C-alpha cells in the first residue's frame, strides 16, 4: 500500500504514473523548476514514460525558492498538474522527476557535478529571457554583472551560461561527449542564442574549450507553448479540491500544449513525438508564428489591459474593443510578416489563440506578462514593425503596443498609482520614459534603451506616430486608445 498522500488522496479520475518508476533514470537535467516546465516538458515526458520510455529529470534550481523542490523530494518527486477549462478539469500526477539539486543546498560545484554526470545526455532550460544574459546584438553581454562575476570566478559559477560552460568543461576533461542543451524559452532561434552565449563565454575563458563545444555541442531550437500562469491561492485551492491534499509543487494550466523541436541531439532524447511533440528540421517558422501572434498580442493585452484597469487576460478579452484589437493585431499586422509553417492556416491559428485567451478558468495576470518587456518586445513587436517600415505598410496596433509599454515602464498608472515594474532595465527605462514632451520621452527610450533596431530608432515617421500614441495614452487613457483603433 502506498503512503504517498498524492496517490492516496487523489480522486479516482486523476491520471497516475502507472509505469514502474524504479526504472526511470535521471538522463536529463532541467534548469528552472518554474511553473512552465512542470506543466510542459515534464508532462510530455510523463506521457512518454507511460508509453514505455525510461528517461526522467534531475531538476536544477539556481535561484527560485527551495520549498517546492524540497516538498517534491519528500513525495518521491510526484506532483500534480491540473488542466483547467471553462467546462471542467483534467488532473494527473506526474512521475517524470526523479532527482533534484538546489543551489542553496549544494552550491555551484554541486550543481556543475550534477549536470556533468556522465549519465546526463540532455540539459533543458526555462530560465526566462533574461537568464540567457544576452546583449542587444544576440551575443553574450559581457557587461552583465552575473557574467562578469562568473568569468572572474569560473569554478564557482552562478549564472546559467557560466554553469553550462563549467559542466561542459568537466565533460571534456573527463573525455566524455557533451550533453545537448535544449532551450525552451520564448526567444527566437532559442537554440542558436543559447549556443552563442555558451560559446562566447567559453571563448573568453579557453579557446580550445570553445572550439570543442562549437564542434561537438548541439543546441536544438524549440517552439514551446502552453499558458501556465504563476500559481495563486485560488489555483492552490483548486489543486487541493482535485487532488484532495496540499501540493506545493503542483501546477494549474490551460489544456492546450504544443512543442516543436529541431531534431539535433548529441546522445539521444525521449520520443516526445509519442506525446504529441513535433520533430522538424526547421523550427524558425513555428517560433516566429508563436512569438509574434501569441506572445505579441499577449504583450498588447498586458500593457494596454493593465493601463486600462484589467487584472487578467481573460478579463481584458471581455472588452470587445480589446478582443478585436488582439485579433486584428494578429491578422493585419503579424500574419503579413510571417511564413506559415507547413500545414498551418494562420487565420485558424489566430482564431484558436483568441479562444485560448478567453478561457475564464485561467487567471493570467496582465502584470505578470508585462514583466521583462525589454527582453520580450524585440521578438514580439519590433521585428514586425521593422518589416512594416521597410514595406511601407501601416502597423497602428504594434505602435500602440510599444507606446503602451513606454507608458507602463514610466512607472505610474492612469490613476497616478505606482506600477511595480519588473524588468532588468527598470531603473534605466523609468528615467528614459519620464520628463518632457511625449516626443522627448519617445526619443530617449527609442535611442537610449538599447533594444530598438536602428531601422526604428532612425525612422522619424515611426517616432512621430509613437509619440502621438503616447500622448493619446496620457490624455485619453488606454481604453479609449484601443477603442479608437477600430
Which residues make up the interface to ligand NAI (CB under 6 A)? 32-37, 61-64, 126-131, 160, 185-186, 224-228, 230
Nearer to ligand NAI, 60 or 330 (CB): 60
Nearer to ligand CS2, 10 or 223 (CB): 223
Residue 369 binds: one of ligand NAI, ligand CS2, none (C-beta under 5 to 8 A by kind): ligand CS2
Nearer to ligand CS2, 359 or 410 (CB): 359
Q: How far is the CB of 285 from ligand NAI (least distance, A)?
A: 18
Question: Helix, strand or coil for residue 26?
Answer: strand
Tell me the C-alpha distance between 350 and 343, whole Å: 14
By Cβ distance, which residue is nearest to ligand CS2?
A: 298
Tell me the C-alpha distance between 465 and 439, whole Å: 9
321, 390 in Cβ contact below 8 A? no
By Cβ distance, which residue is nearest to ligand NAI?
A: 34
Helices (H), 34-95: 35-39, 41-50, 67-74
Q: How far is the CB of 451 from ligand CS2 (least distance, A)?
A: 15
Nearer to ligand NAI, 190 or 337 (CB): 190
Question: Helix, strand or coil for residue 184?
Answer: coil
Q: Supply angle C-alpha 161, 201, 381, rounded to 5.
A: 65
Residue 63 binds: one of ligand CS2, ligand NAI, none (C-beta under 5 to 8 A by kind): ligand NAI
Tell me the C-alpha distance between 1 and 137, whole Å: 57
Q: How far is the CB of 230 from ligand NAI (least distance, A)?
A: 6
Nearer to ligand CS2, 98 or 184 (CB): 184
Q: How far is the CB of 259 from ligand CS2 (least distance, A)?
A: 10
134: phi then psi, degrees, rounded to nearest 5: -95, 150
Q: How far is the CB of 363 from ligand CS2 (least distance, A)?
A: 12
Tell me the C-alpha distance between 459 and 386, whole Å: 10
Nearer to ligand NAI, 37 or 196 (CB): 37
How distant, in Å, are the alpha carbons of 402, 417, 418 from that of 433?
A: 12, 16, 14
Residue 410 binds: one of ligand NAI, ligand CS2, none (C-beta under 5 to 8 A by kind): none
Residue 130 binds: one of ligand NAI, ligand CS2, none (C-beta under 5 to 8 A by kind): ligand NAI
Q: How far is the CB of 370 from ligand NAI (least distance, A)?
A: 13
**Three cell numbers, residue 142:** 559581457
Instruction: Give the up-direction half-sphere exposure of residue 34: CA atoms within 13 A in the CB hemisphere.
Output: 18
Nearer to ligand NAI, 26 or 231 (CB): 231
Q: How far is the CB of 438 from ligand NAI (least distance, A)?
A: 31
Residue 66 binds: one of ligand NAI, ligand CS2, none (C-beta under 5 to 8 A by kind): none
User: Helix 207-216 vs helix 190-205: angle between axes, to the nearest 10 degrees?
Assistant: 150
Helices (H), 220-319: 233-243, 284-289, 296-307, 313-317
Residue 433 binds: one of ligand NAI, ligand CS2, none (C-beta under 5 to 8 A by kind): none
Q: How far is the CB of 287 from ligand CS2 (least distance, A)?
A: 11
User: Helix 296-307 vs helix 396-409: angle between axes, to the nearest 10 degrees?
Assistant: 50
Nearer to ligand CS2, 379 or 410 (CB): 379
Q: In what order do the strands lie in the sheet with 79-85?
A: 88-94, 79-85, 251-253
Nearer to ligand NAI, 158 or 324 (CB): 158
Residue 141 binds: one of ligand NAI, ligand CS2, none (C-beta under 5 to 8 A by kind): none
Residue 292 binds: one of ligand CS2, ligand NAI, none (C-beta under 5 to 8 A by kind): none
Q: How far is the CB of 61 from ligand NAI (least distance, A)?
A: 6
- Please give the residue ranges that form the binding site for ligand CS2 (CB under 6 A): 186, 225-227, 294-295, 298, 368-369, 376
Tell me the C-alpha distance between 304 and 322, whole Å: 9
Nearer to ligand NAI, 109 or 391 (CB): 109
209, 165 in Cβ contact below 8 A? yes
Q: How far is the CB of 186 from ligand NAI (least distance, A)?
A: 4
* End-to-end Cα, the chain, rounded Å: 62
Residue 295 binds: one of ligand NAI, ligand CS2, none (C-beta under 5 to 8 A by kind): ligand CS2
Nearer to ligand CS2, 369 or 419 (CB): 369
319, 308 in Cβ contact below 8 A? yes
Beta pairing, strands 25-31 & 180-183: unpaired
Q: In what order do the strands lie in the sheet with 278-280?
A: 222-225, 258-262, 278-280
Residue 35 binds: one of ligand CS2, ligand NAI, none (C-beta under 5 to 8 A by kind): ligand NAI
Instruction: Give the up-direction half-sphere exposure of residue 89: CA atoms within 13 A in the CB hemisphere.
Output: 24
User: How is residue 355 annotated by DSSP?
Assistant: H
Q: How far is the CB of 160 from ligand CS2 (least distance, A)?
A: 18
Amino acid at each position: 500500500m502506498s503512503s504517498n498522500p498524492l496517490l492516496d488522496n487523489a480522486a479516482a479520475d486523476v491520471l497516475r504514473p502507472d509505469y514502474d518508476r524504479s526504472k526511470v533514470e535521471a538522463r536529463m537535467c532541467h534548469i528552472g523548476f518554474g511553473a512552465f516546465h512542470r506543466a510542459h516538458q515534464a508532462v510530455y515526458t510523463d506521457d512518454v514514460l507511460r508509453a514505455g520510455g525510461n528517461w526522467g529529470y534531475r531538476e536544477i534550481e539556481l535561484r527560485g525558492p527551495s520549498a517546492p523542490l524540497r516538498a517534491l523530494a519528500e513525495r518521491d518527486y510526484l506532483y500534480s498538474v491540473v488542466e483547467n477549462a471553462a467546462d471542467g478539469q483534467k488532473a494527473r500526477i506526474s512521475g517524470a522527476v526523479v532527482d533534484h539539486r538546489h543551489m542553496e543546498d549544494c552550491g555551484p560545484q554541486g550543481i556543475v557535478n550534477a549536470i556533468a554526470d556522465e549519465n546526463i545526455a540532455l540539459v533543458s532550460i526555462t530560465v526566462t529571457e533574461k537568464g540567457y544574459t544576452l546583449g542587444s546584438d544576440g551575443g553574450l553581454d559581457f557587461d552583465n554583472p552575473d557574467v562578469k562575476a562568473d568569468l572572474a570566478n569560473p569554478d564557482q559559477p552562478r549564472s546559467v551560461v557560466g554553469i553550462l560552460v563549467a559542466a561542459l568543461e568537466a565533460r571534456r576533461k573527463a573525455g566524455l561527449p557533451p550533453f545537448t542543451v535544449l532551450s525552451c524559452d520564448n526567444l527566437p532561434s532559442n537554440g542558436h542564442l543559447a549556443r552563442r552565449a555558451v560559446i562566447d563565454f567559453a571563448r573568453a575563458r579557453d579557446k580550445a574549450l570553445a572550439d570543442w563545444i562549437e564542434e561537438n555541442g548541439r543546441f536544438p531550437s524549440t517552439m514551446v507553448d502552453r499558458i501556465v500562469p504563476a500559481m495563486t491561492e485560488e489555483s492552490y485551492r483548486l489543486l487541493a479540491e482535485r487532488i484532495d491534499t496540499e501540493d506545493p509543487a503542483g501546477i494549474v494550466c490551460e489544456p492546450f500544449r504544443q512543442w516543436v523541436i529541431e531534431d539535433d541531439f548529441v546522445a539521444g532524447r525521449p520520443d516526445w513525438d509519442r506525446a504529441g511533440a513535433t520533430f522538424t528540421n526547421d523550427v524558425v517558422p513555428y517560433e516566429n508564428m508563436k512569438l509574434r501572434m501569441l506572445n505579441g498580442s499577449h504583450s498588447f493585452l498586458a500593457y494596454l489591459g493593465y493601463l486600462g484597469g484589467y487584472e487578467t487576460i481573460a478579463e481584458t478579452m471581455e472588452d470587445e474593443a480589446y478582443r478585436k484589437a488582439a485579433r486584428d493585431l494578429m491578422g493585419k499586422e503579424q500574419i503579413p510578416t510571417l511564413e506559415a509553417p507547413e500545414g498551418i492556416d494562420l487565420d485558424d491559428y489566430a482564431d484558436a489563440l483568441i479562444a485560448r485567451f478567453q478561457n475564464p478558468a485561467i487567471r493570467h495576470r496582465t502584470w505578470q506578462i508585462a514583466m521583462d518587456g525589454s527582453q520580450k518586445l524585440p521578438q514580439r513587436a519590433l521585428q514586425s514593425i521593422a518589416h512594416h517600415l521597410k514595406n511601407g505598410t501601416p502597423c497602428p496596433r504594434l505602435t500602440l503596443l510599444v507606446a503602451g509599454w513606454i507608458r507602463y515602464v514610466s512607472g505610474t498608472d492612469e490613476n497616478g498609482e505606482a506600477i511595480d515594474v519588473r524588468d532588468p532595465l527598470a531603473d534605466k527605462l523609468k528615467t528614459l520614459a519620464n520628463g518632457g514632451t511625449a516626443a522627448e520621452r519617445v526619443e530617449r527610450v527609442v535611442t537610449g534603451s538599447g533594444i530598438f533596431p536602428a531601422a526604428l530608432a532612425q525612422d522619424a515617421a515611426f517616432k512621430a506616430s509613437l509619440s502621438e500614441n503616447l500622448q493619446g495614452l496620457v490624455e485619453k487613457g488606454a481604453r479609449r486608445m484601443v477603442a479608437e483603433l477600430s
